[in-house]
Structure formats: C-alpha cells, structure tokens
C-alpha cells in the first residue's frame, strides 16, 4: 500500500518545488499538498495520512499549532517540520509535537530518506495498540528526583549550564530529548553530539529554560511505578550498560564509542515507556517474569506482543537517532536478528547488558542470556574474556560493583 503524505506550506512555489522534486516517488507515495494549516486539517478530517511535513511560519494557524492539533487528533501520523532557520522560536515551541526537524532548503534525498526511514520503522511494531501508543509519546517521562533537581537548579539564581548538563545526563528521557534536538537538521551542527552535557551547553541556558518552562519538554513520571519497575535499578543499569558498551567498543578501533554510550544508556528506554503508559499491564509483566522464571522481554512479548526492545528502537528511530543506535536498541536481546556481523553497537550493547546483569544488576525473573551462538557465528567468542575483564574494571573504577551487590533483588 502506498504511503500517504501531506505537505503543508503557505508558499505555493515551495509546494510546487516539493511536487517536482518528489515526482519520482509517486509510485510509492501518494502526496497531497495544502497551502495552509486550516486546509491541512480539513484534508486530515477527510482522509488518513501516514506522514505530515509542515512549514512553521504561516499566516493564521502556524506549524506549531497545527502539529499540536494533529498530535491530539491523529496521533498515528508521523510529524515532520520543514522550516527555515529564522523560525527557531516556533520550532522550539513544537518540540513536543514533532518527531523530526528538517531544515530548508532540503534536498530530495534528505527528505526521501527521512520519510522512508520513519515509515520503515513501522515494521518493528507487530502490535497495533502499542504502535499507536508509541506514536503518541512526546517525551519519555523523567525520574521524579531528577526532575525536581532540574526544576530547583533552573530556578536558582546561581544556576550554571554545567550543573544543568550534569542533571540532565542522569535521566534517560531528558538525555534522549536533548540529543534528538541538538542533532536535528535544524541546528545544522557539523558533527553528531553524543554527550548530553555537551548538548545542553550547545543549546544554552535560555533555550533550556524555554523548553522546560514554556514548552514543558520534560515530563515528570506521574504514576507510581514501584510495583511495576524498580526505577533506581533501571537508571543504574542504563548508566552501567552505557559505560560498558563504550568500553567494549574501545577494544576495537575506538570509533563510535560515544554512540555506544548513548545506545547503552537508552537500551531499555522502552521499559520506561511501557511501564509509565501501561502501568497495570506492566505489573503483570513483572509477576509473570517472576512466577514463570522468564526474562522481562519474554514476558512483555507474551502480554503486549512486542518487547521494550522494539518499542524503544521504534521511538528513537522516529526521533531520528542514527540507524546503528536504533538497531542496538531494537535487537539488544536478539542480536542475531540484526544484520551486524562485526564489532557493532548491537553486539556491544547486547554483551554489556548481559554482563551488567551477570555482575549483579538483576530484575525479578531470569537474567537475559548472552547469545553465545551469535558471538560464535560472527567470530567474536574469543573476545569475551577480554570484554568481561575490561567491563569489570570499568564498574570497579567507581565502586559501582559494590553498590550493585547490595541491591540485588
């Protein structure tokens, strides 16, 4: 079935340019064009669109207001901004509603690849209900203590960008959002940023304040997850897997170790998403994992039809994280399903995850096992003793192992 895409721009020559530029895609895409936000909403009320690509500055309703309404009424629709740099304040207003930001002028390949990639991601989600949920997620909820620390720091007259960066680096959802934003085409940075503290310092204090107080980019975890998930352990495990995955990548050529940290830190973001949005069902996941002795991702599959791995990969893909990070999230429990055959992020995160569990950071239920057959098949099983050694050293460096020992449940 053809993808249905709606382009919105008040300048007719821009719409004409898009029509011409994307003419070659007409066998795969059904494209419609609206010259105002009001017209776009009318078209959306008459037919379903998979993707909307909108300008920001338009007379009447602007792009930010349009996307807010689309998010409410048609959460399934994937939402892109295609905007000029002068519209920064409007783009920042729509941060919560847009999945991706493209910058004008945008060449055909960039636009085609971004839309195609977002639509391909749908294949990751087998279950419609959870897929719809994934598309509605605007932010990943933040752990309450980190959220409160951030609010306090932002309101303090002596606040510093370093301190803000340090707080944001402690939270999975905040880290994902600032990295998404700073690496968007909109900011046009020459290289990809993988350090959340650096992302915060590039965005600057005023932008961060605006995002937090005006746009409400971060949301505090509202539900009590105590019965569904141990958020302290999830946080510690996520930070550890980030560090261990980075360390494993450094035993190779050292490239992409920043990506490895990000992939490791975000690898279980899908758990947070499922537990925060479907807390009652997630309590059942925990009970099933415990009573049947299966790993959490197995219990999730039985209850939701998919696991946190696929849903986390899907969300980060929609947010335009690079393919290698999306792949690492989506396949961290089943690396053999990925196409990776070398020292990849999938491999590093898979091994780091299993080692962190092996060293003591356990959920209830069984520990996710390392896929030794996969390691053997790609010729990496001989590396395991080295990886175990460097990972143990990494955790001992800051005495984290000791803390973990006392927190085993």
Binding site for Fe ion (CB under 5 A): 268, 353
Of 10 and 268, which has the nearer Cβ to Fe ion?
268
Smallest Cα–Cα separation from 338: which of 353, 323, 360? Answer: 323
Of 34 and 269, which has the nearer Cβ to Fe ion?
269
Distance of alpha carbon 376 from the chain centroid: 30
Of 199 and 272, which has the nearer Cβ to Fe ion?
272
Q: How far is the CB of 175 from Fe ion (least distance, A)?
A: 16
Of 298 and 353, which has the nearer Cβ to Fe ion?
353
Of 102 and 285, which has the nearer Cβ to Fe ion?
285
Whole-number Cα distances in Å, 379 to 43, 224, 348, 372, 376: 54, 44, 14, 10, 5
Instruction: Measure the CA–CA gap between 203 and 10, rounded to whole angstroms.
Output: 29
Q: How far is the CB of 107 from Fe ion (least distance, A)?
A: 37
Angle (CA) 264 194 314, round 5° = 55
Tokens (6 digits) for 314: 């899907």
Of 9 and 353, which has the nearer Cβ to Fe ion?
353
Q: How far is the CB of 391 from Fe ion (least distance, A)?
A: 14
Q: How far is the CB of 205 from Fe ion (least distance, A)?
A: 33
Q: How far is the CB of 332 from Fe ion (least distance, A)?
A: 6
Q: Which H or E run contains 220?
A: none
31, 5 Cβ separation under 8 angstroms: yes
Q: List Cβ neighbours of 294 (8 Å cut-off, separation of 6 or more).
A: 288, 365, 366
Q: How far is the CB of 197 from Fe ion (least distance, A)?
A: 23
386: buried, middle or exposed (CB in 10 Å: 19+, 13-18, 0-12)? exposed
């Amino acid at each position: 079935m053809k993808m249905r895409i709606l382009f919105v721009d008040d300048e007719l020559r821009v719409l004409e340019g898009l029509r011409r530029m994307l003419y070659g895609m007409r066998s795969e895409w059904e494209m419609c064009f609206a010259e105002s936000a009001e017209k776009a909403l009318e078209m959306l009320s008459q037919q379903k669109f998979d993707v909307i690509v909108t300008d920001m500055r338009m007379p009447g309703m602007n792009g930010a207001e349009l996307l807010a309404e689309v998010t409410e009424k048609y959460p399934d629709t994937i939402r892109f901004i295609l905007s000029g740099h002068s519209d920064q304040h409007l783009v920042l207003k729509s941060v919560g509603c847009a999945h991706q930001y493209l910058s004008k002028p945008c060449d055909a390949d960039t636009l085609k690849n971004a839309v195609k990639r977002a639509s391909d991601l749908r294949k990751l989600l087998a279950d419609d209900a959870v897929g719809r949920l994934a598309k509605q997620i605007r932010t990943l909820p933040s752990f309450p203590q980190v959220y409160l620390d951030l609010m306090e720091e932002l309101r303090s007259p002596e606040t510093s960008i370093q301190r803000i960066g340090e707080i944001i680096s402690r939270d999975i959802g905040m880290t994902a959002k600032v990295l998404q934003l700073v690496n968007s085409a909109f900011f046009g940075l020459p290289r990809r940023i993988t350090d959340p503290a650096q992302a915060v310092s590039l965005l600057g204090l005023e932008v961060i304040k605006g995002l937090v107080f005006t746009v409400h980019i971060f949301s505090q975890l509202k539900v009590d997850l105590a019965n569904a998930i141990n958020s302290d352990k999830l946080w510690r495990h996520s930070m550890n897997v980030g560090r261990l995955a980075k360390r494993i990548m450094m035993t190779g050529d050292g490239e992409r170790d920043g990506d490895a940290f990000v992939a490791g830190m975000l690898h279980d973001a899908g758990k947070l998403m499922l537990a925060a949005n479907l807390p009652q069902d997630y309590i059942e996941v925990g009970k099933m994992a415990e009573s049947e002795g299966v790993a959490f991702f197995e219990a999730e599959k039985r209850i939701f039809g998919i696991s946190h791995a696929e849903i986390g990969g899907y969300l980060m893909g929609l947010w335009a994280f690079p393919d290698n990070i999306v792949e690492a999230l989506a396949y961290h429990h089943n690396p053999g399903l990925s196409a990776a055959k070398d020292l990849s992020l999938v491999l590093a995160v898979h091994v780091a995850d299993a080692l962190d569990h092996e060293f003591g950071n356990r959920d209830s239920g069984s520990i996710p096992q390392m896929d030794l057959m996969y390691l053997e098949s790609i010729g990496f099983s001989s590396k395991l003793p080295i990886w175990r050694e460097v990972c143990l050293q990494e955790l001992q460096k800051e005495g984290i192992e000791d803390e973990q020992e006392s927190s085993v449940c």
